[in-house]
Structure formats: C-alpha cells, structure tokens
Amino acid sequence: MNLLKNILKDRIPLLKKEIKDLIDEKGHQKIGDVTISQAYSGMRGVKAFVCDTSSVSADEGLIIRGIPLMEITHILPEEVFFLLLTGKLPDENELADLKEEFSLHLAVPDYVWDILKNMPADSHPMTMFNTGILAMQGESIFRKKYDMGMKKSDYWEATLEDGVRLLAKLPALGAGVYRMRFNKGDRINPDVNKDWAGNFVHMIGLPDKDGNFHRLMQLYLMLHCDHEGGNVSAFASHTVASALSDPYYSVSAGLNGLAGPLHGLANQECLKFVLSVKEKFGGVPNEEDLKQYCWNRLESGRVIPGYGHAVLRCADPRFSAFIKFGQQNINQDDVFGIVDLLYKVVPGVLKEHGKAKNPWPNVDAASGSLLYYYGLKEFNFYTVLFSISRTMGMISQMVWERALGIPITRPKSVTTNWIKTNF
C-alpha cells in the first residue's frame, strides 16, 4: 500500500492549501439558502458540506472524481477504490500494490465467527454482518494510535490502514454470513490469488461455470461504491467519523442507515414486484398487457418500485450498465425479460399518469433480477452485498475528512416556535 500512501501524501497538502485559499478568499459567500420546507423535509437539496469523491448529476447520474460512471464500468472494484481515494486510476504497479495489501488481510478473526454462531438462527443477515464489523473494532489501528497520542496530521493514514484492512475482510465476512445464515455448509476460506470480487464469488459457493457471476460481482461492487455525501449511509458515516470514531464504528453507523427500507432495501422490493408480474402472466407478458397492469397498479394507489427518481432526469447509469450486462448474458431469462420490458413501458406510463415528474429507473430496478438469476435468491441478503461495495465510498470520504481536518459535524437546529416567531 506504500504506492497509494505516497500519492496521498503528495496530494493532501496541495488540497489543504487549495481549500485554505478558497476559504480565505470566498469563505463569506453563500452556496445556498434553506427554506422552512427543507428544514421539515429531510434537508433535501440543502448544500451543507463538501464531498469530492463523487457527485450525482441530474443529466448524467453518478460521476466519480469527475468521470461519468458509464466511462468506467469496465474497471475493477479495487481500481474504483483507488480512484475514489486519489482522483486517478491506478497503473499496473499501483493496482498490484493495493491488491497485495488486500491479500494480507482477507481472514476474519475466529472470535467473530464465534459471536455470530451464538446469534439467533433467524437473525437478519445485515444484523450479523454489522455485528461482525463492530466485533472487530478492537483491531482498529486508529484507536490504538489515538490512545497513544497520535498527531492530527497522521489521522488520515491510520484511517486508511483501518479502512483497507476492513475492506479486505468484507467479502469473507459477507460470504460467511450467507453460508451460516442460510445453511449452505461450512465457510470457504479466501484465496489470496483471486481479486476482491472473485474471492466473494469463491467464498459464497454458488456455481459459476462460465465466469459470468464473477463478472457480475465485479460490476455490482464497482457500481455501488459511492453516491456523493448526502445519502443516509454516507452522511451517517460522515457524522460519526467526525467525532473521531474509528472506521469500524463509522462504517457500522453508515450500514445501519443502509439497512433502512428507504435506502438499501429497495432492490429486493423491485425484484418482488417483477416476480409478481411473472406469476400473474406465467412469464413475460406482451407490452400492452404490461402497460395495462402498470396502469391498474398506479390507479389503485400503489407505486412501481424502482421508478420515479427524485434527482435524475435520465435513466440511472448504474441501471443502464446492469441492463447492458443482462442483455449480453441472460436475455433468455424471463425475470430479466420483464425488467427489460418494464424499462420500455413504465417511464411512458408514469409520464402520462403524472405520478412522477421524473419517471426514470434507479439502480434497484435491475440489480435484483441479475442476482436472482445467478442463484442469490435470499432477498434479505442483498443489502449485505450493497454494504460490501458502499464501504469503499465511506472509507474514501473518511480518509480525506481526516486528512483535511474536517471538524465535528454540528448543525444548528431550531424549534417550531422559533420558526413561527421569526417568519
């Protein structure tokens, strides 16, 4: 990991100076105003802090370090993690250096498995996964060095060391939870010769004769890596980390947010809807029948899961990447066929109905159907897979927040009476 650290050591002082100059020159200028409605509505759209790892454009979707997502869907998760941290894609030596660091920290400590074995048999996979992360908090380098009097200028390096070690273990932890929770047999040990996604596929133990499940996991873990700083999981992680809680605590906080049904559970709700369509029609319906089915659903007051985006004015590029993968590899599958047909039908129905101003699909409208095809049919495990990926973004944001000395998050709240009195 020395190559990665050296890049960051060169870039951190440059960005610190750039930010200091910005604050000195323009710190008094406003970047937005907050309305009473926003204060009561989850602060949606309020510009309140900076996140440089990624941004979400209404017209382009996810942009990672200035690069539109669709330009880099071919890269490995390890490469996107390097990009999130440094702003550049790794060269061959830098990628090998990071992979080697991951390979040193693949194994989950035995005491973690002992804890998970003693949890109730019907525990939610996310509860088990998050418990495993918290159980490893005693491994934190940041905490140990902080207790010894670490300098503020070294916070980022200890955060990075914790983050990389935690990330390296997540495929083994996630796969182990899957096999334990769903009675799939003994755990499978990691293989130091496999890439990050390949190890997950290896350890989860599902068949992959043609290697396409491996390629799907590379794509899935890359696509879910980050989504700017204001989503629930990223912001929760940011807030907890700002108190100088170590990455184990901070990632756990973020993942507790990701477990909520309005955030990380959406893909399974989308898949349930697709399967209900298949059951009703006995396979893939024709376009007119599906259109009428969607109209009836909207008229009854229900939504069409995965459609109607709050930000995007186009199809989520993550959705587009999954659709392309499905069309190339599983276009004969009925479940995917329904997903593909819904994309042709639903935006037009929503526009005509007026149910959604922005009727475009998000990533969840497609991802579940692909996981289902390759044998991951336990819906409540999907958020664990999401979590393995999204931790890359949380860690990257954390490293830079500690490098730049971002202070503790402490917005000012007001009371309803204050608003009534002052407006």
Residues 6 or more apart in contact with residue 158 via CB below 8 angstroms: 141, 142, 145, 146, 150
Q: How far apart are CA 402 and CA 159, in angstroms?
A: 8
3-state secondary structure 248-310: HHHHHHHHHHHCCCCCCCHHHHHHHHHHHHHHHHCCCCCHHHHHHHHHHHHHCCCCCCCECCC
Structure letter (DSSP) for residue 63? E
DSSP character string of 213-237? HHHHHHHHHHHTS---S-SHHHHHH
Rg of the chain over CA atoms, in angstroms? 22
Neighbouring-strand partners of residue 56: 62
- 33 catalytic, yes or no? no
| Alpha-helical segments (H) within 47-91 | 77-86
Q: Is 263 tagged catalytic? A: yes
d(CA 238, CA 235) in angstroms, rounded, equals 5
Which one of 162, 195, 246, 364 is the catalytic residue?
A: 364
Give backbone dihedrals phi and psi of 331, rounded to 5 degrees, phi first: -65, -10
Tallying the residues shown for the chain, one arrives at 423
Across 197-211, b (16+ Cβ under 10 Å) vs e yields bbbbbbbbbeebeee
**Catalytic residue chosen out of the listed positions 105, 263, 289, 340:** 263
Distance CA 24, CA 333 (A): 58
Residue in 389, 395, 376, 384 with CA at minimum distance from that of residue 132: 384
- Looking at 52-136, list the stretches that DSSP marks H as alpha helix, in order from N- to C-terminal side: 77-86, 92-103, 110-117, 125-135
Can you read off the two tokens belonging to residue 132? 């495993």
Q: Is 191 annotated as catalytic?
A: no
Give catalytic residues, as residue numbers.
263, 309, 364
